[in-house]
Structure 1
Amino acid sequence: FLLSLGCINFINLTTANAVHRAKEIGIRKTLGSSKNELVIQFLSETLLLTSVATLLSVFLTPLILKAFSGFVPEELQFSLVREPGVFIFLLILISIVTVLAGFYPAMVLSGYKPVLVLKNQAFADSGKTRNAWIRKSLTISQFVIAQVFIMATVLVSKQISYSLNKDMGFKKDAIIYLDIHFGDTVQSHKYALMEKIRAIPEIAMMSLATSPPSSGSSWSGTIKFKDGKKEITTDVQQKFGDTNYVKLYNIKLLAGSNLEPSDTVTSFLINQTYARILGFKDPQQAIGKNLDWSSKQMPIRGVISDFNQRSLHESVKPLVIGSWPSSQSQISMLLVPQGEAGITWKSAISKVEKAFKEVYPQDDFEYKFVDQEIAKYYDGEKNISSLLKWATGLAVLISCLGLLGLVIYTTTQRTKEIGVRKVLGASVSHIVMMITKDFLVLILIAFAIAAPLAWLGMNKWLENFAYRTAISWWVFGLGISVMLLIAMITLGFQTIKAALANPVKSLRTE
């Protein structure tokens, strides 16, 4: 898209600059140059510019890859020597860009009649010609792309904000967790560590479990439920934790009671989704029913509210929570809010590390914040958002340069008209509005095209999320507002300059 914008921009700026080369073209034609020779000359100039730009890009690419190292794979390197295919690709790209960007301006420039050019009449009525409509169409295309980029950037940022701030059904702030050596056969070690942590005043509560509520690693298995003659077999997510697990993560208990301390699995809590799959309309109806788990009958002790076990890309899965101390090798800790009685989390974590090293001196102490781990689910979207912001900035910049080229061209060809209007009493503001109006219409036409395209693209992208933000009307309103504001700034200087020009100079004939 950005390369297309560059080509369109080059076409508009080249044709806008034609007025400064008109006499050169007229003289060359008078001296015998044919149209084909002029076309070859202008294509050669485009080839030279494209080649120089490509050469500069070759030198800048390593720096750009370094600057965007967070978005590209570490093994990705740019080398023309090691990758001869890249060199061939660049040669093909230069040829394509030269033809796409240079052919139309070359045909326009070589088509001027020498008699009209030398009499300064080559641009008379050019605003009504087919070439003018082509330039305007290209400008509209630029603003379509730019506005789609703006709307997409806003929507991606909106979805990321929604994902990070949505209530996932459990508490995720101010909670850290650490893994204990799973292969440690001495169960007393982890309980000794928990006793030491319990004595730390900065720790409000802790729980021994297999994983946090939302985790990339979860156990799952098939569980059966018999309701009379009907048997329901379901693939169910399985988590194990002590009695504090539901309390620490503030998971709402809808019916029944919490788990009781036990040495082995004796009952389950199930989530709303699983209760609905089993056919229970009221959570209370599920209490006391038995589940067939590993050929054992496990009573349903309670029903908890749904929470997201993974990112918002996925819907809530059926879930059971039981108590199985021998498999629970992760300690979750709720930190006391910072600032209370001079408490700092850094101090709390240091004390936890000291306790950990006393029990497991050979193991590395590694802890994680629950909310930070959840935020990592959306690293890909954050990278997309950052790249979109850069691309949007470039797209808007290139589009405005193209707009500037078109307004220069228009004010040049309408110089005498502006002079006549000023002589007849037109004010500067009237002339500025007269010129600006045409360009604002182009932007509005571009918006009419960009809005449905952006909606379709954004709606398709949002299908990757089971839980997604709404495509609000203000996303489109912001897109057109930003584009109009930047366009007005771009147009302002040149249109005011044209409106303030001395009409005597513009009406003087040679």
Structure 2
Amino acid sequence: MIQFKFIFRKLWRDRFFTFLKIIGLAIGIAVCLIIFKIVNYEFSFDKDHTGKEEIYQVVIWNIKGDKKSGFGGVQSAVAEFVDENFPEIDQVVPLNNKYYEYLSIEKPNGETYRKEDPKNIQSTVSDYFELVPYQWVAGDKNTALLYPNQVVLTQSKVEEYFGKVSADEIIGRTIKYGSTLFTVTGIVADLNFPSSFEGKEFIPITKEEKTDANWFSFNSNYNLFVKLQPNQKERLLEMLDEKYEEMIPDSWKNAESQTKYSLLPLSEKHFSQEFSTGAYSANKKIVFGLIGIGVFILLLAGINYINLSTAQIPYRTKEIGVRRTLGAKSAQLKQGFLYETLIISVLALTLASPLSIGFENFYGDFMPPKIGDYSDLLPISLFVVGLLLVLTFLTGLYPAYLINKVNVSEVLKSQGAGKLSVGNLNIRKTMIVFQFVIAQVFVIGAFIIASQIKYMINTELGFDKDAVITIKLPYKSYQNADVDPFLFKQALRKHPEIQQVSLGHTPMNNMHWGNNLVRITENGETTLNMNFKYVDADYVDLFEIEILAGRAPQTRDTVESVFINEAARTGLGFMDNEEAVGKTVKGSSEKPLIVQGIINDFYQKDLRNSKAPLSLMITTKKDMLNGFSVKLPAAPSEWKKTLGIVEKEWKTFYPAAPFAYEFYDTEIKQLYESDMRQSQMINLATIIIIILGCLGLIGLVTLTAYQRTKEIGIRKVLGSSVLGIIMLLSKDYLKLIGLAILISIPIAWWAMNKWLENFAYRIEIEWWMFVFTGIATILIALMAVSYRAIKAAIANPVKSLRTE
């Protein structure tokens, strides 16, 4: 107890350095706590799922040359085919996503509960509850989905729909999904661990889903899971591949492109984003990147602590010498220093907890969805205890070792502890350089990522996106979805404030409608798979898409006409644009299509993707046109009035549908949402790393100024300027930062080149980027140390010379 009182008195006496140590460690611990929560959550998915080693999702690979693209949905016919032809498989479980416009529940008090667009409704079979380890609260899992119009609810949905009532009262109650009435026949407890199975309401597979013989279209709503033995995998895949080849027409078969079935283990599903089919999944590279950031920040916080602690040792030599003279042994001195480190670590943890909670509240977008639904108290507690022990020993052992190197005879002569180095390698300087190498790599990375995002947002896309709003077509039966959208378009065009109106797919989005075009020549057929966009005749005019050859679309082009871009023209083998115009190609319907025009290769997806072949199909079928595009006046001051006109006409034609619009340039920015989140994450990590580095510099400059108090006084008496004193105290550290910047350049160049490889269109990394970020880092460091340096430089030299 006496030793702890002594430690607290000492920490209070040196409270400025105690504060620097605590705040540095607190920032490191807070970041590690947040990252551990995220990483622990992501790696917990399906971990507690019984029998997960034998559970697989049936998925497909589309292979074209050396490129592979995956998809998690299958055809509706696959589940029934596997069930009938592979009886030895333990379980065959189709899991189909269902959509209803709304659900409603009649309450006993006469009130009606209604929910629009309910989520996580799936149709499946009774075996699903054998595959997934739900705990049954009420009902029989063998009969709960035996008949049509039955529904099984999770406990969370029961509470949402019916409130806090007993399970027995819910069995037999009815829920109306759209116009169909379902009876609650079972209740299961929500899974108590993160799972790739996100369903909350389960209904039986319909007869239509069971008997559907569709082998042609892969649908993300149709998912199939199987539980099988390892020796059954190869035969199942061979059987599926053979059946698919048997069912598809010869015109679909292409030696350059193949579709192959595969099996995705449940243990890998959460990190396989290409097979997610809308379910939440994670990018393992980003998760490992977070781990790396956490390790670096904690390492830098520890280096800060070690630097400040070792720099203070010359000023503790008298204390150490007296204690050793009075009989203190080396082990006791080490123990005392480790106790001091432990106390500072505990205080830092106390501060880190509200810091991490504050971060989660203010930056909730960084946290994975539903992370708060699962208890992580035990793993976090173990992590915190382990972190404290690691911090105490790693940050305390080296300073404790140096304390025991203090020479008592030198202390009594007031010669200090000497240089703290091993051979000719100065440990403290090495750690400062390491800190700022990491900091500079992050600074360069943050700048290049921001530059790439700015380039993607501001690059010329090949069409006009300015002053365009998009409005989705109403799709619900009670929202006047049967109204002809061209009537609304005609009403808008009567207003002179509205420049243009069009229906169809927007030019740039990450959705993909694909099909083949076939060119028949004397030498055979040329088949090209490409993107298709279904639009009306005013689409090209509204978006100012350039016509390179032929003519612009017309209303009569809804029959036997197609417009293609230059990439499609090249892929089909036409020598130039003029040659392609007027030629005949075939689509999926085998009907001839005449190429009426060639358009420019505008960007169809984000800049991660190359420009691809494209067909524009002119149509008036509303089920193929997913929304309106409206061109507003060029002057933003007129937008409010124009939007009022659009809303008024909307309410005339679609009174039951909400009027919701979005500016198209905002939609394009949303394509880079994940990149922006990554940029924000790097920016935040950069700020934290810079703060940690600057905290260490402030402490070291303060100690340097204290150590050279008399020298500074003498220099001032002899005429040194304030600026000269500041440079005297700062130059050694600025040299180390300059060295760190030079070391960081090749590391940052390599790392950012690897990152930019993910983009088909990207910026070039240029020399001035390294110069600019290097100067910025030096200026930040100079500002960090300037206050303490200035304070020492303007101190009274007479007082300095009187100081013992």
Normalising by structure 2, report the TM-score. 0.59
Residues 177-231 of structure 1 show CA distances to partners (whole Å, capped at 9, x for unaligned) of 222245889977222212211122321111122x111123331112222333142
Number of aligned residues: 504
**Distance of aligned partners of 1:430 and 1:490 in 2 relative to their CA distance in 1, 3 Å threshold:** same
**Distance of aligned partners of 1:506 and 1:277 in 2 relative to their CA distance in 1, 3 Å threshold:** same
Larger CA deviation: 126-135 vs 152-161: 126-135
Letter matched to residue 106 of structure 1: A
Give the structure 2 partner of residue 91 of structure 1. Answer: 385
Give the structure 1 partner of residue 307 of structure 2. Answer: 12
| 2:426 aligned counterpart, secondary structure | helix
| 1:225 aligned counterpart, secondary structure | strand
Give the structure 2 partner of residue 23 of structure 1. Answer: 318
- Consecutive unaligned residues of structure 1, counting only runs of 5 or more, are none
Residues 434-461 of structure 1 show CA distances to partners (whole Å, capped at 9, x for unaligned) of 4433222101110011111111121122
Correspondence for 1:453 among 712, 724, 747: 747
Correspondence for 1:273 among 564, 567, 570: 567
Task: Give the Cα separation in 1 of the matches to 2:453 and 2:473.
Answer: 32
Whether 1:464 and 2:761 are equivalent positions in the alignment is no
Q: Is the 8 A contact 1:266 1:323 kept in 2?
A: no
- Consecutive unaligned residues of structure 2, counting only runs of 5 or more, are 1-295
Residues 439-484 of structure 1 show CA distances to partners (whole Å, capped at 9, x for unaligned) of 2210111001111111112112222221112223232112111121
Task: Give the Cα separation in 1 of the matches to 2:655 and 2:716.
Answer: 88
Correspondence for 2:440 among 144, 147, 151: 147
Whether 1:442 and 2:736 are equivalent positions in the alignment is yes
**Distance of aligned partners of 1:492 and 1:191 in 2 relative to their CA distance in 1, 3 Å threshold:** closer
Task: Give the Cα separation in 1 of the matches to 2:443 and 2:532.
Answer: 43
Residues 237-271 of structure 1 show CA distances to partners (whole Å, capped at 9, x for unaligned) of 00122221111000001111122213743111111
Q: Which structure has more strand as a fraction of its residues?
A: 2
Task: Give the Cα separation in 1 of the matches to 2:688 and 2:757.
Answer: 27
Letter matched to residue 439 of structure 2: A
Give the structure 1 partner of residue 34 of structure 2. Answer: none
Whether 1:201 and 2:496 are equivalent positions in the alignment is yes
Correspondence for 1:476 among 770, 774, 777: 770
Deviation of 1:22 after TM superposition, in Å, equals: 1.7
Residues 87-124 of structure 1 show CA distances to partners (whole Å, capped at 9, x for unaligned) of 10111111111122111111112321122123221244
Give the structure 1 partner of residue 635 of structure 2. Answer: 338
Q: Is the 8 A contact 2:501 2:630 kept in 1?
A: yes
Larger CA deviation: 63-72 vs 388-397: 388-397
| 2:628 aligned counterpart, secondary structure | strand
Deviation of 1:374 after TM superposition, in Å, equals: 0.5
Residues 33-55 of structure 1 show CA distances to partners (whole Å, capped at 9, x for unaligned) of 11121111111111121122123
Task: Give the Cα separation in 1 of the matches to 2:483 and 2:350.
Answer: 67
Task: Give the Cα separation in 2 of the matches to 1:268 and 1:205.
Answer: 22
Correspondence for 1:170 among 463, 477, 490: 463
Deviation of 1:29 after TM superposition, in Å, equals: 0.8
- 1:100-499 residue pairs with structure 2 within 5 A? 100-124=394-418, 126=419, 130=423, 133-181=426-474, 189-209=484-504, 211-262=505-556, 264-294=558-588, 295-326=590-621, 327-338=624-635, 344-414=638-708, 429-498=723-792
Letter matched to residue 271 of structure 1: N
| 2:340 aligned counterpart, secondary structure | helix
Whether 1:55 and 2:372 are equivalent positions in the alignment is no
Q: Is the 8 A contact 1:123 1:413 kept in 2?
A: no
Q: Is the 8 A contact 1:267 1:301 kept in 2?
A: yes
Q: Is the 8 A contact 1:236 1:320 kept in 2?
A: yes
Task: Give the Cα separation in 1 of the matches to 2:796 and 2:627.
Answer: 81
**Distance of aligned partners of 1:396 and 1:82 in 2 relative to their CA distance in 1, 3 Å threshold:** closer
Task: Give the Cα separation in 2 of the matches to 1:423 and 1:166.
Answer: 60
| 1:408 aligned counterpart, secondary structure | helix
Task: Give the Cα separation in 1 of the matches to 2:514 and 2:601.
Answer: 17
Deviation of 1:77 after TM superposition, in Å, equals: 3.0
Task: Give the Cα separation in 1 of the matches to 2:426 and 2:573.
Answer: 65
Deviation of 1:136 after TM superposition, in Å, equals: 0.2
Letter matched to residue 231 of structure 1: E
Task: Give the Cα separation in 1 of the matches to 2:725 and 2:567.
Answer: 66
Letter matched to residue 314 of structure 2: V
Percent of pairs identical after alignment? 38
Q: Is the 8 A contact 1:263 1:325 kept in 2?
A: no
Task: Give the Cα separation in 1 of the matches to 2:721 and 2:647.
Answer: 76
Q: Is the 8 A contact 1:291 1:300 kept in 2?
A: yes
Q: Is the 8 A contact 2:528 2:572 kept in 1?
A: no
Q: Is the 8 A contact 1:7 1:97 kept in 2?
A: yes
Deviation of 1:16 after TM superposition, in Å, equals: 1.8
Q: Is the 8 A contact 1:266 1:322 kept in 2?
A: no
Task: Give the Cα separation in 2 of the matches to 1:150 and 1:78.
Answer: 35
| 2:371 aligned counterpart, secondary structure | coil
Task: Give the Cα separation in 2 of the matches to 1:416 and 1:179.
Answer: 76
Q: Which structure has more helix as a fraction of its residues?
A: 1
**Distance of aligned partners of 1:509 and 1:381 in 2 relative to their CA distance in 1, 3 Å threshold:** closer
Q: Is the 8 A contact 1:182 1:329 kept in 2?
A: no
**Distance of aligned partners of 1:28 and 1:78 in 2 relative to their CA distance in 1, 3 Å threshold:** farther
Q: Is the 8 A contact 1:221 1:236 kept in 2?
A: yes
Task: Give the Cα separation in 2 of the matches to 1:499 and 1:142.
Answer: 27
| 2:586 aligned counterpart, secondary structure | strand
Letter matched to residue 438 of structure 2: I
Give the structure 1 partner of residue 206 of structure 2. Answer: none
Whether 1:2 and 2:297 are equivalent positions in the alignment is yes
Task: Give the Cα separation in 2 of the matches to 1:501 and 1:357.
Answer: 74
The structure showing larger relative contact order (alpha-carbon pairs under 8 Å, at least 6 residues apart) is: 1
Give the structure 1 partner of residue 338 of structure 2. Answer: 43
Letter matched to residue 485 of structure 2: K
**Distance of aligned partners of 1:436 and 1:292 in 2 relative to their CA distance in 1, 3 Å threshold:** same
Task: Give the Cα separation in 2 of the matches to 1:119 and 1:507.
Answer: 20
Larger CA deviation: 396-405 vs 258-267: 258-267
**Distance of aligned partners of 1:96 and 1:186 in 2 relative to their CA distance in 1, 3 Å threshold:** closer
RMSD over equivalenced CA pairs, Å: 2.8
Deviation of 1:421 after TM superposition, in Å, equals: 6.2
- 1:58-69 residue pairs with structure 2 within 5 A? 58-69=353-364
Q: Is the 8 A contact 2:406 2:417 kept in 1?
A: no
Task: Give the Cα separation in 1 of the matches to 2:359 and 2:669.
Answer: 26
Deviation of 1:284 after TM superposition, in Å, equals: 1.5
| 2:578 aligned counterpart, secondary structure | helix
Q: Is the 8 A contact 1:197 1:355 kept in 2?
A: yes
Q: Is the 8 A contact 2:360 2:367 kept in 1?
A: yes
Task: Give the Cα separation in 2 of the matches to 1:330 and 1:70.
Answer: 29
Task: Give the Cα separation in 2 of the matches to 1:298 and 1:469.
Answer: 39
